[in-house]
């Protein structure tokens, strides 16, 4: 991915005139900087924002540095067929095409949460069933997971949270080896303007508490995809919740195995069944923080 684009790069990428891009820059529609020689330069995240909001069609993704999208050769699935196409790419190990499809969905206007809750979740669930029916199923699923993780990392690179962005920290608990869910949560949060610190899979609760002390986040998340010892994890989470309550922090619990934990209701505890709920909650916290005087633990 390119870091900076010239007006010509962006113009040719979306099929408009260079003079139009320059005019939109001068009018403030597109944010840009200028070189020492006075040449306009557009940061790639800003170009992506403009493409999404203007519903522009990317005709030359290579000019944006999106080789993954170029790998699709303009062959995008029809609306409603995205999950099936992504499943086919992932099962075949077609990483460039899978990455290109995920990125194309985002460029086309879908939010990160919509992509994760929709085609990505469906494709991974179908892949997860293959091991029951076909001998290579486990191999396909593990390879697909690695491809999906890298695909989400590609999308995450499009976000540049400001220095004063709210901070979120999270991961998957000890004994949970799954990376995709917590990586996706971090991408969703950064797409909402947060700075997300993803501690990854198999994160002990003590390590998460240390991260809270060090990073002073406004939000903590935990993605639970597998529970080896429900009672032990529930006790760890009670300890985590106690520590967070002393700091008046909000905690979001998600993941496919979240319902295996029997936690007492708390004001700071929010259970998210889908990434869209995490996104909405994070946006609510951000609005409460901007308004001032509102306790973020009660937002949303």
Residue 134 confidence (pLDDT): 81
Q: What is the pLDDT of residues 74-108, one digit of tens each?
A: 888 988 999 999 999 999 999 999 999 999 999 99
Residue 294 confidence (pLDDT): 41
| DSSP code per residue over 172-220 | -BTT----HHHHHHHHHHHHTT-EEEE--SSB-HHHHHHHHHHH--SEE
Greatest alpha-carbon pair distance for the chain in Å reads 64
Whether the model clears a pTM of 0.85, i.e. scores above it, the answer is yes
Helix (H) or strand (E) holding 125: helix 121-130
> Tokens 């203007």 appear where?
54
CB 251 within 8 A of CB 269: yes
Work out the pLDDT band at 62, boundaries 50, 70, 90: very high
Q: How far apart are CA 250 and CA 282, in angstroms?
A: 10
Task: Say whether pLDDT at 44 is over 60.
Answer: yes
Q: What is the pLDDT of residues 122-139, one digit of tens each?
A: 999 999 998 878 888 899
Residue 216 confidence (pLDDT): 95
């Amino acid at each position: 991915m390119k870091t900076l684009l010239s007006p010509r790069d962006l113009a040719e990428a979306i099929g408009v005139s260079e003079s139009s891009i320059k005019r939109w820059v001068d009018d403030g529609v597109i944010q840009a900087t200028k070189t020492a020689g006075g040449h306009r330069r557009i940061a790639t995240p800003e170009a992506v924002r403009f493409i999404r909001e203007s519903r522009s069609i990317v005709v030359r993704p290579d000019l944006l540095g999106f080789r993954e999208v170029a790998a699709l050769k303009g062959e995008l699935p029809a609306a409603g067929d995205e999950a099936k196409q992504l499943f086919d790419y992932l099962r075949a190990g077609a990483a460039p095409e899978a990455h290109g499809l995920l990125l194309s969905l985002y460029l086309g206007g879908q939010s990160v949460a919509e992509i994760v809750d929709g085609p990505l979740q469906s494709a991974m669930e179908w892949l997860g069933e293959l091991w029951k029916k076909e001998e290579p199923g486990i191999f396909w699923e593990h390879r697909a997971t690695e491809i999906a993780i890298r695909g989400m990392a590609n999308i995450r690179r499009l976000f540049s949270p400001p220095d004063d962005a709210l901070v979120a920290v999270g991961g998957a608990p000890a004994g949970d080896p799954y990376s995709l869910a917590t990586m996706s949560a971090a991408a969703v949060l950064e797409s909402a303007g947060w700075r997300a610190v993803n501690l990854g899979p198999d994160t002990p609760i003590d390590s998460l508490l240390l991260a809270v002390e060090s990073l002073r986040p406004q939000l903590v998340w935990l993605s639970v995809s597998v529970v080896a010892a429900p009672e032990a994890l529930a006790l760890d989470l009670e300890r985590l919740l106690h520590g967070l309550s002393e700091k008046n922090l909000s905690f979001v619990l998600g993941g496919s195995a979240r319902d295996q934990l029997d936690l007492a209701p708390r004001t700071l505890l929010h259970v998210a069944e889908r990434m869209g709920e995490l996104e909405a909650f994070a946006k609510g916290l951000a609005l409460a923080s901007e308004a001032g005087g509102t306790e973020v633990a009660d937002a949303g």
